[in-house]
Structure 1
Amino acid sequence: MKQEENKSQEEMDAMDAVHEDEGSQDEAMQEDNAGVESRDAEIERLRASSESAEKRVLQAQAEAENFRKRMRRDFEDQLRYAAVPLVNDLLQVRDNLHRAIEASGSTSESDGLREGVAMVAKQLDDTLAKYQIREIPAAGELFDPNYHEAISQIPSDEHPAGTVAHVAVTGFQMHDRVIRPSQVIVSTGPASDTPAN
């Protein structure tokens, strides 16, 4: 009987040992699973961090490229339009040459002088055109505030309402930029037949 008790005690001890062994294996497996899960989570976190950093780098590179292009365009514009103050002064000289031509009388004595001044004015116009400075068409054109500056309005039978009836000062543009708008008188259309009160 004692042997049976010893045997059953040994069996129980063996079973307890097996259960303890299984419990420690479960704990070890849980620790391994927790380790794998934390490793996977860490890998995922690092991957997301890497993707975020890559996006920031690409965005910074795009911003830097846009800044370089904008600076290059600004620099080119500064070079392209650097002569605008000089051109404005030359346009005043041109205006005076044309005023001199208009003011000169039609006498045989002044014909030679008028022709000489006209040649100088044409040479100046040709030189301006060589540097992409051209006259803004205005007479008879539809009034455009981007190119014309209205200084007055008059009724006109020759010009419909909203068109330029007279050019007081010729406007010019350099490349695509208006450097001096045309100063114009705009037509209000035909004068009405009813007398004004």
Structure 2
Amino acid sequence: MSEPIDPELEENNNVDSEAGNDQTVDQAFSDDESLDPSAAGQPESRDEEMERLRRTAAEADKRVLQAQAEAENFRKRMRRDFESQIKFASTDLVIDLLQVRDNLNRAIEAAENSGQTDALKEGVAIVAKQMDDVFGKHGVTEIPAAGETFDPNLHEAISQMPSPDVESGKVAHVAQSGFRLHDRVIRPSQVVVSTGPAS
């Protein structure tokens, strides 16, 4: 048989229970406040957010434009390098053929000096002329030298000599003709440079 419940004791228990419930509610509100974004700092306004996004987009556009410009410069540089390689790919072949041209010209000189028939001399001269035409067709041109002012970029001085007819510092004699392939010197002219009239 259960004992009768003291009304005063039951009232105290109810008060303690209500107090516990109030503490739980207060704790719940405290936890909710910790999740409030405003507790970490002042949130940015809509205008500030829009301005930040505009700046970010402008910086991204700038980086894209810079990347595009760098890519275009790279493509142009690669195209120039490729065109240059194609343009001067025949350099070694031309240099070798120039030696053949030299020999043809020596044959013409030898024919003139030895009294060979005009037909032989003319035949060799025609071959030499054909070779010059082929060279010209492919951008190979002779470097002017005789009577020109000596230029170390175009001429290779093999000696000096006095000359009554050629000013000092100019080419008095061409020992071997020089040539360009397009705008590049592939063989400088070998020349004798005048020192002026003998004193």
Report what 1:86 is aligned to: 93
Residue among 143, 159, 183 paired with 1:152 = 159
Shift of 1:150: 1.6
Equivalent position amino acid for 1:73 in 2: R
Tell me the distance in 1 between the aligned counterparts of 2:115 and 2:44.
109
Once the two structures are superposed, the pairs formed by residues 61-80 of structure 1 within 5 Å of their partners are 61-80=68-87
Q: Which secondary structure does the structure 1 equivalent of 2:145 belong to?
A: coil
Residue among 166, 183, 189 paired with 2:190 = 183
Alignment of 1:53 with 2:60, yes or no, is yes
- Aligned-pair identity in percent equals 66
Tell me the distance in 2 between the aligned counterparts of 1:163 and 1:179.
22
- Kindly provide the CA deviation profile for residues 77-135 of structure 1, in whole angstroms up to 9, marking residues without a partner as x: 11111111111111000001111111224565433222211111111111111112111
Report what 1:174 is aligned to: 181
Alignment of 1:121 with 2:128, yes or no, is yes
Select between 95-104 and 46-55 the one with higher mean Cα deviation: 46-55
Q: Which secondary structure does the structure 1 equivalent of 2:84 belong to?
A: helix
Shift of 1:53: 2.0
Equivalent position amino acid for 2:146 in 1: A
CA RMSD of aligned residues (A): 2.1
Report what 2:43 is aligned to: 35
Equivalent position amino acid for 1:145 in 2: P
TM-score normalised according to structure 1 size: 0.73
- Kindly provide the CA deviation profile for residues 2-37 of structure 1, in whole angstroms up to 9, marking residues without a partner as x: xxxxxxxxxxxxxxxxxxxxxxxxxxxx99xx4345
Once the two structures are superposed, the pairs formed by residues 16-27 of structure 1 within 5 Å of their partners are none
Larger radius of gyration: 2
Shift of 1:169: 0.9
Alignment of 1:162 with 2:169, yes or no, is yes
- The aligned length equals 160
Shift of 1:40: 4.4
Residue among 123, 137, 142 paired with 2:144 = 137
Equivalent position amino acid for 2:136 in 1: A
Q: Structure 1: which 4+ aligned runs deviate by more than 6 Å?
A: none
TM-score normalised according to structure 2 size: 0.72
Q: Which secondary structure does the structure 1 equivalent of 2:60 belong to?
A: helix
Report what 1:4 is aligned to: none
